[in-house]
Every structure is written in structure tokens, then in C-alpha cells.
Structure 1
Amino acid sequence: MTAGERLPPINGSLVLSRFDALIEAGFVHYDDHQKIIEHTDRDLKFHFILTKALAQKPTLSTPPEQILVQGQNKSPLSLMQQRPGSDINTNGYEIDDGSKSHFLIANKFCFSRPHLMMLTCDGYRRQHEPLDRSDLEAAWTTLAALNDLATDYVVFYNCGRDGGCSRLHKHMQLMPLPADGFATAFLDSHVAKEPRVPFEWFHYRFEDGAITPATVASIYAQLLRQATKAWENCTGNTVADGEACPHNVAFTSRWMVVIPRRRAAINKEAGVNSLGMLGIIAVATEREIENWVRLGLTKSLRELGVMRKKNIA
């Protein structure tokens, strides 16, 4: 593939093929022997994904030069250079050519096959911004394309440092929906009783029929308003212009959930992103699981989110 060629439209089979090629080339870290370890705490079922692939994943405290030097060798799939303003090196990880407002890459440190990132083509867009219409349109269109293999994908966004983001260039993540946590079983059912989560969360099930990107954007805006109010009431803070309150958002083709956040982590070995707040926590070592259990899973999520008005824990 040459620099002048365009990648064909994405679909699930093509994305998986490219992702596997990047694993084979050593660009992507994926542990095909990872384990799922289940724990139940106060009636909430948690799934830990134990994977060696996360052992070297950077955080916001990782110096940028240690991240940007990774993956500098060109791969046959590489079409783009490092983008101005970005703190994510995409060179060699591209899944599509970024011909519109966003482009798709493989996540270097992944716990799903595939595990993707969708970044804004503008490298100066930041992770503390709310999702806008173009973000949601790109994600919703890609979600439909990836679901062609009858694989159930989820899109999630970690907004702000307290929302669990590890890089500042605005990006969403996409992957097949992992093992059910306490939230997904409820969100996928119209009859299941709502789990007794200890934090505020705001969810919406999409109606049957055609859902447009405009509809998705409207629902997100509605849920974010609720999350922002809860966050402001809890913290006494207000949201700065152009930013959003720290929050997580996750959505499939059937539902969306928005969760306001107060903190990214309890300690260095107990932090979560969007999926973690839904009971799906990826870790690199068994010691991290032991740390979570010692801290108390439900108690910790209550401290990371906005405590519900009615304390149910």
C-alpha cells in the first residue's frame, strides 16, 4: 500500500484483518491468553479482565517523549504522520485514512480483539470537551459498519482526567462488548430490575426503528445535562466554557449511559474508565485485583462517581 492509496470503506472483517496484521507485526500488544475473573460485591457482579497487554500502558503522567517514540517504524498500513497538537502517536496504527473529521486506529494496549480508537483529525481537540455532533455521527456510522459480523460493539469516551482518560487528544474507543458486568445485563433488558449502583448514572434505551446520528446527539446532550447537574450539586464546581464535567459515556446500538465522575482512581492500582464504572475492569496483574477487593469494589465506585442521593450501598 502506497501513500497515495485510499483504504476501502471499513467493515468488521476488514478491521479485524488489519488489527491482526498489526499484532503480528508487533505494533499492537494483545494477550490472547487473558483471563476473566468474576467477583460479586453487595449484589453487583464485576468482571476483571486480566491481561499482560496493559503492563506498559502510559498514563497522563507518562512523559510525552516516551509515548511518541513508540511505533516509529513504518508499517505497510501507515498512511499518516504524527498530527500537530496530538499526544498520541498514530503512525503505523491506522485502520482508515482519516479523509473526514475522524480517523480510526488500533489501540496499542488492548484487552479486546479488536480494540480501536477513533480520533479527531484535528490534533488540538481535547479530551475534556463534550462529544459533539460530528463525534457522535462518526462513531454511530462506524458502529453500524463494525456490527456487520453480528458482533456486539460498544463505543465509550473517557472525558477529562477525572473521567479516566490517559491521553489528551480527543478520542473515543470501540471494541466488542466485553463480558457482562452488572450494568449491561440491565441496559439490555426491558424487564430486569435496576442494579443497586452506588453512584449517579443516566441511561437511555433507544427505541426500535431508525436511529439517526442527530437522535444520538440529542440523547447524549440530554443525559449530559443531567450528569452535569449532579456533578455540580456534588462538587460545588461549575463547568468551564468549552469543557464538560468529567464523565464517562458508553453506548451500543441499543442504549447509552452517561456517568459523572469525581475521581479517576482510588490509588495507583485502582482506577477505571467508562467500562470500569459498568463493572468491567481491565488489569495487568492479580495484585491489582486483590487491591480492588481489599478496597471494596462497590465502595470504590461510589467514591469515583457521584454518590447517589439515596445511599444504597
Structure 2
Amino acid sequence: MNESLILSEFDKLQQSGLALYDQNQKIIKHVEGGLKFQFCVTSALAKKPTFQTPQSSADEPRDGSDISTAGFEIGEIGNAHLLIANKFCWANPHFLLLTSDGYRRQYESLDKSDLQSLWSLLCTMSTDYIAFYNCGQDGGCSRLHKHLQLIPTPEGTFASFLDSAGLEPEPQVPFQWFHHRFDSQDMTAQYLAEIYDKLLGQATEIGGGLSEHAHTALPGAACPHNMIMTKRWMAVVPRRRAAVTKAVAANAMGMLGYIAVATEAEVDEWIRAGLTESLKELGVSK
């Protein structure tokens, strides 16, 4: 599958109104504690389901899945993954990379197959994309079917220093995170899996027993975390909870200071709650 086909299919879905994207969304910037935050205010999130939202009776997801892909499918990536358009886009374009097996779960850790399909997709795109995984309820997931998300890489996130090859200082975020710049010219699924396992191991050491739902962890569940990856680096953020209040909630990108919200009132609530203090509660405080 090539980039032009992927983008063409996404554009068709957006223009038809199936993939919701707010053409008038805006970015609100805010600085607190020496950290630069960006709020993406988009009405496309107004109807986005939560973890507790039941599947609509009108949807017909594949066996085991709670994500209906009918009409949103773009194509297969490898033998084990499917690329679809996100129904509720806060980026243009905004993709989901799902496991073809609808019984794979969002609380599992990523495996070599997931990372191989993801790397293949990242390398297919000429534009710089960032991929992220919200692992578990406390990691910010809203559906159970295992999936990653991809959007064009925004500028000025907390992780942007990783693109500077050591020339920019690491921002003093208030939570624990672990990251690795890729240094191998021969990028393989095995190499990516080894890096991910190492970072997840570090995250699990400090975050494994601290999550809000740790007492109800399912067999095979990984430590709640976010994985974020580009073609140049990978980061893992251990999570304690998905939200402080209904409005003050964050997925993987939110933990990098790029927070998608439906209204400006939610921005105000974040600021009242304190952005750095909220991130401490959502992650594992330093």
C-alpha cells in the first residue's frame, strides 16, 4: 500500500463526512512551570465514545471487536493489521492501526508484529508521523480492540527535543518517562521490540502497582502506559490514571503537552486544575 492511496482514501472519508474533522479547530498555547502546552480545540471530539460507551446497535464490528470498521477501512498492513480512518479526527489525517484479530486487547503490551506493521507504515509515509498507543483504561484508551493511532507529528511537544540529536535540553516534565533515540541503520521488528521491552520494563518497575485500577488488572495486562514513536525515537510513559476530572484527561499525546479537547471550557478547567499538577496525577510523579 502506498502513501497516495492511503491519503486519497482518507480524504474521501473526510469529504463525505464519515470521518469527522473540524476545519475550524484551533490551537491555544499556554505556558506553566516552564513547560509549553498546546490545546487542540476541536468539535470533532464532542461525540467521541469513552471507555464505558456501549457499541451502537447500528455498528457491526468484526468478531471480538468494539470498533466498527465498516466504511472506514483503508487497507491491510502486513498480515495482522488493518489501517482505518479515525472517525473522530483531531488531526488531518488521523489513522487507527488495528489488529486484524478483534479479540486482541488494548490492555496488552505491544508485540513484534505490532511494531513491524507500525514501522512499515511510518516508512511508507513521506510526511513525518507520530504513532501512539494508549495501553489500558488508565492509559487513556476508549476502546478495547487493540489499536495504535497515527497523526502528522505536531511541533513543540515535550518530546521534540529528541529530534535535535542532543542539541536541545530535555524539558523538566513533572512525571516519569523513558525514551530512546534509534541508533541502528538496520531497523528491524526485533530491534524495536527490544527497545520497547526495555522501556516498558523501566516503566513497570515504578508504575506497575500504582494505577487506579491495579486491583482489577486482567490476566496478561501490561502496566498501564503510553508508547509514542516516530522514525527517530520511542518513548514510554507509565500511567496511574486516565483522568483527574471528566475534562482533565489525557492520552499519550496529552502527556507530551499536546492536549485535544472539545471546547474552550475544557481548556479553562485544565488551567484551573493546574497543568503540571494534573500531569503528576495522570502519570507517576517524579
- Classify the TM-score, shorter chain: over 0.9
Q: Identity, % of aligned pairs?
A: 53
For the residues of structure 1 that align with 2:78 and 2:120, how far apart are their CA atoms? 14
Aligned residue type for 1:44 = L
Work out whether residues 98 and 121 of structure 1, in 8 Å CA contact, stay in contact via their aligned partners in 2: no
For the residues of structure 1 that align with 2:211 and 2:160, how far apart are their CA atoms? 30
Matches within 5 A, 1:113-262: 113-146=92-125, 148=126, 151-181=127-157, 183-189=158-164, 190-207=166-183, 209-232=185-208, 234=210, 241-262=219-240
Of 244, 253, 263 in structure 2, the residue corresponding to residue 266 of structure 1 is: 244
Shift of 1:179: 3.4
Aligned residue for 1:173, secondary structure, equals strand
Structure 2: 5+ residue stretches without partners: none
Aligned to 1:4: none
User: Are the structure 2 counterparts of residues 49 and 94 from structure 1 closer, same or farther at C-alpha, using a change threshold of 3 Å?
Assistant: same
Deviations 1:131-183 (A, max 9, x none): 0010110111111012x2xx1101100000000000000000011112322x1
Give me the CA root mean square deviation: 1.7
TM-score by length of 2: 0.94
Aligned residue for 1:218, secondary structure, equals helix
For the residues of structure 2 that align with 1:99 and 1:43, how far apart are their CA atoms? 43
For the residues of structure 1 that align with 2:203 and 2:220, how far apart are their CA atoms? 16
User: Are the structure 2 counterparts of residues 22 and 270 from structure 1 closer, same or farther at C-alpha, using a change threshold of 3 Å?
Assistant: same
Q: Does 1:302 align with 2:277?
A: no
Moved over 6 A (4+): none
Aligned to 1:60: 51
Deviations 1:180-216 (A, max 9, x none): 22x1221112121111111110000011523212111
Aligned residue for 1:130, secondary structure, equals coil
Work out whether residues 161 and 168 of structure 2, in 8 Å CA contact, stay in contact via their aligned partners in 1: yes
For the residues of structure 2 that align with 1:142 and 1:124, how far apart are their CA atoms? 22
Work out whether residues 49 and 282 of structure 1, in 8 Å CA contact, stay in contact via their aligned partners in 2: yes
TM-score by length of 1: 0.86
Shift of 1:243: 1.4
Structure 1: 5+ residue stretches without partners: 1-8, 71-80, 309-313
Work out whether residues 112 and 178 of structure 1, in 8 Å CA contact, stay in contact via their aligned partners in 2: no
Shift of 1:69: 2.2
Matches within 5 A, 1:6-21: 9=1, 11-21=2-12
Aligned residue type for 1:23 = Q
Aligned to 2:270: 292
Work out whether residues 211 and 239 of structure 2, in 8 Å CA contact, stay in contact via their aligned partners in 1: no
Shift of 1:250: 0.3
Aligned residue for 1:266, secondary structure, equals coil
Matches within 5 A, 1:86-101: 86-97=65-76, 100-101=79-80
How many aligned residue pairs are there? Answer: 283
Deviations 1:266-289 (A, max 9, x none): 101111100000000001100000
Work out whether residues 204 and 257 of structure 1, in 8 Å CA contact, stay in contact via their aligned partners in 2: yes
Shift of 1:37: 0.8
Give the number of the structure whose alpha-carbon radius of gyration is greater. 1
Q: Does 1:27 align with 2:18?
A: yes
Aligned residue for 1:95, secondary structure, equals strand
Work out whether residues 47 and 179 of structure 1, in 8 Å CA contact, stay in contact via their aligned partners in 2: no
Shift of 1:241: 4.1
Shift of 1:60: 1.0
